[in-house]
Structure 1
Amino acid sequence: MKPCFDAGRAGSITRVPGIEAGHFTETRRPTGCTVVIASEGAVAGVDVRGAAPGTRETDLLAPTHLVDKVHAIMLAGGSAWGLDAATGVMNWLEEQGMGLDVGVGRLPLVPAAVLFDLQVGDMRIRPGAAAGHAACADASSEDLPEGNVGAGTGATIGKVFGMQYAMKGGIGSASITIDGVTVGALIACNALGDVIDPDTARVIAGARSADGLRLRETRRALLHGDPPQPLLAGSNTTIGVVATDAILTKAQAHRLAVAAHDGLARSINPVHTMSDGDTLFALGTGRTDRRPGMLLLATLAAEVTAIATARAARAAHSITTAQGLYLPGAADWG
């Protein structure tokens, strides 16, 4: 089956006019954070589907709430501790004179989401405010590095039957431009389930067999009756951002985030579980005067999300932690 979109030229969320992004990768253990910046502000929405999310400032994105625009989104490892990286983003934005004008100064608003990577290396090392600030300093409009970087540094995939059978996750990006409108996605994949090629439905990475040498195919194994291992709630999670240069209302931004989860459903199985905190943000920079309509924008959002998720898995490289945990990556395994 020929892919409907050439993932070899998948692009990056930074090809959306008005969007920059950067990583901080913690070298002392596998973890990190990634920031998406809209320096001129962007209308934003969010949709949380996983049952165990770790988030910050998501309520303000509700269509009925006051705030119209945000200037950055933070994605981080470190579980709930990683939310502190958003403070560093706030500090950096304030230094640049960005944020909501509150009369006596500017208040940067930075929604954030985190994934659980505490089982990979020393959990006492996690992204903080300095990490968020460093990610901002790294931000540019260049295509982003993918795989074991930023928020994807400590990500893992396929833990349904135990961490010892999991594989390395990562971060990936993609974009599509049609008739002068660009939609892009950035996905940090730390999924409980397998990552699936959205065009062929073949498993890219996920739970391995008992001998560790082949893919187990979680969906088929569960349907066959193989029992899953008891899991700590929230110990997984796929998080990301979808952005477009189209003009959006807050309600439309919310619907774009909703549609983007269709891309997760095409590229992760199982997805949106009780042990995942799957959260997707949507941004509209309004840098183009084209108005393609929500049907096309929603279709593109789902497509780039699915491609970016697959790329996150394909770009991941194998690691062995100091504690002896081996996590093969699809980029160099098999």
Structure 2
Amino acid sequence: MNRRELLGTLASVSSAGFALSAGGLSFAADGNTARQTGPRNLITDVPGLKIGQSQDAKVQTGVTVILPDKAAVAAVDVRGGGPATRETDALAPHNLVQEVDAVVLSGGSVYGMASADGIAAWMGARNRGFSMGSVPGVPPSPILPTACLYDLANGGNKKWGEKPPYRKLGVKALEAASEEFELGTAGAGFGAMSGGIKGGLGSASTVTADGHTVGAIVAVNSLGSAIAPGSKQFWAAPVEIGNEFGGLGTEELHANPEDYGHALRQAKPRANTTIACIATDVALTRVEMQRIAVMAQDGLARALRPIHAPFDGDVVFSLSTAQHEAPSIMPRSVLTMRLGAIAADTLARAIARAVYEATSLPGNSPKPAWRDL
């Protein structure tokens, strides 16, 4: 395809959208063809994917595991100024391993990294992981990119000494992997806060006109707020599908340039992080998944204000379960653009759902939930 043909295709994409016809994929006239969710409106609407979660109510923390049925092509984009991550360098396109065995999201800041230790041991004992060749008595090495958020100061009992709970929480989450899972105060979002109120775990999905699925899962522990100052309306309202986070509309979505509500009152180094994973069932390369991760970061900007601050550790993973081959009717670059744009909106919706579904922590929590405002 030459430059003129590509530009023509892009013009058609932006003005018409996509639809299914008897001959395959065609352009539709309504331009609104990717506005439906999967049956669960969860990331597990992406075939070949399960989610496992665990939490400790006394410690007020938790772990979420994104588990593909088989090793999946993955990428990552790190934007926050204070990330807490493991094995993200391994996801660079020029490095050896091109697939991951799972993606781990955890509370606990640096202590949460141990959640991946437990998962690695569990998987290795079951012969799942990367290996250059089978060696008797030597387990494979599971590839487990991990991102952690800071929930250490949320009032839970963190007097764990030399035995943080995250290794056990990781294994417990993995063993609980299912297509159904809780939102709000659950998993990695159990102890999370967001813009002065309770944060949480959110998820959403979008099904394209030609039957492909994009899903998002996110633990929202953001400095920025998901709602407009003086309002309960979500910044993500323009991309809401149905009433998935209240259907409150956009009437009160306005703010002065330096009005962040309660957000800046909790600004502390490395104390605020939104960690997420985007998934699709389309078979894509590591480079294409990298671009989707980059584009998906815009979902954070659509749903949280401010975002990507020095105090944040924002990380977005992306992975492909490769259940369907990429449609040959369109250029790969156009397909990547299309899925990346959908991913950004889907992630924005998942963030709003995390805050919408959250409940206050047990005990005398100083942070109200959105539903308590």
TM-score norm. by structure 1 comes to 0.85
CA contact (8 A) 1:172 1:312 kept: yes
Tell me the CA shift for residue 38 of structure 1: 1.3
Match of 1:310 in 2: 352
SS at match of 1:310: helix
Tell me the CA shift for residue 137 of structure 1: 0.2
- Output aligned runs, 1:20-169, within 5 Å: 20-103=50-133, 104=135, 105-120=139-154, 121-125=156-160, 127-140=165-178, 142-158=179-195, 166-169=196-199
Matches of 1:319 and 1:129 in 2, distance apart?
22
Matches of 2:183 and 2:266 in 1, distance apart?
31
Task: Spell out structure 1 runs of 4+ moving beyond 6 A.
Answer: 6-10, 224-227
Matches of 2:350 and 2:199 in 1, distance apart?
12
Give the partner amino acid of 1:154: G
Compared CA separation, residues 264 and 182, structure 1 to 2 (3 A): same
Unaligned runs of at least 5 residues, structure 2: 1-33, 227-233, 246-252
Which structure shows the bigger proportion of residues in strand conformation?
1
Tell me the CA shift for residue 10 of structure 1: 6.3
Match of 1:283 in 2: 319
Tell me the CA shift for residue 90 of structure 1: 0.8
Match of 1:162 in 2: none
Tell me the CA shift for residue 17 of structure 1: 1.1
Compared CA separation, residues 302 and 224, structure 1 to 2 (3 A): closer
CA contact (8 A) 1:222 1:228 kept: no
Aligned pairs, number = 310
What fraction of aligned residue pairs are identical, expressed as a percent?
38
Compared CA separation, residues 176 and 82, structure 1 to 2 (3 A): same
Matches of 2:261 and 2:346 in 1, distance apart?
33
SS at match of 1:319: coil
Q: Which of 324, 329, 333 is the aligned partner of 2:369?
A: 329
Match of 1:273 in 2: 309
Match of 2:206 in 1: 176
TM-score norm. by structure 2 comes to 0.77
Is 2:267 the partner of 1:231? Answer: yes
Superposed CA offset, 1:125-180 (max 9, x none): 5542111111000001x23210001000000011xxxxxxx211000111112112
Match of 2:16 in 1: none
Give the partner amino acid of 1:122: N
SS at match of 1:275: coil
Deviates more, 1:50-59 or 1:17-26: 17-26
SS at match of 1:255: helix
Give the partner amino acid of 2:218: I
> Max radius of gyration: which structure?
2
Superposed CA offset, 1:2-40 (max 9, x none): xx8467976111111111111011122210000001131
Give the partner amino acid of 2:258: L
